[in-house]
């Protein structure tokens, strides 16, 4: 996951990092740590997808090009 892409997606949705963390039920420091370590659980990733209305989550979480 590219942290800058995630931050851009958050901004596109008119949110701040703190607001996103709150919507996910995480403390701000925990949210930042998970972003840095790419340590989101599947449930948290699904929350991000819902909160940010992400249409192509594989691009955000796995990079631009996903091969089969």
CATH number of the domain encompassing residue 21: 1.10.260
Is residue 2 very low, low, confident or very high in pLDDT (cuts 50, 70, 90)?
Answer: confident
**Residue 21 to residue 37: CA distance in whole angstroms:** 15
Count of structural domains within the chain: 1
pTM summary value: 0.81
Evaluate whether residue 11 is within a structural domain: yes
Evaluate whether residue 65 is within a structural domain: no
CB 48 within 8 A of CB 61: no
Predicted confidence (pLDDT) per residue in 8-65, tens digit? 999 999 999 999 999 999 999 999 999 988 788 999 999 999 999 998 888 777 765 5
* DSSP element (H, E) containing 33: helix 28-37
Q: Quick count: other Cβ atoms within 10 Å of Cβ 24?
A: 18
Evaluate whether residue 64 is within a structural domain: no
Tell me which residue range forms the domain holding 31: 3-58
| Of residues 66 and 33, more confidently modeled | 33
């Amino acid at each position: 996951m590219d942290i800058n892409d995630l931050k851009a997606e958050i901004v596109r949705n008119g949110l701040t990092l703190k607001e996103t963390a709150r919507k996910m039920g995480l403390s701000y420091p925990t949210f930042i740590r998970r972003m840095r370590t790419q340590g989101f659980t599947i449930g948290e990733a699904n929350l991000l997808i819902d909160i940010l209305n992400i249409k192509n989550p594989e691009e955000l979480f796995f990079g631009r090009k996903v091969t089969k």
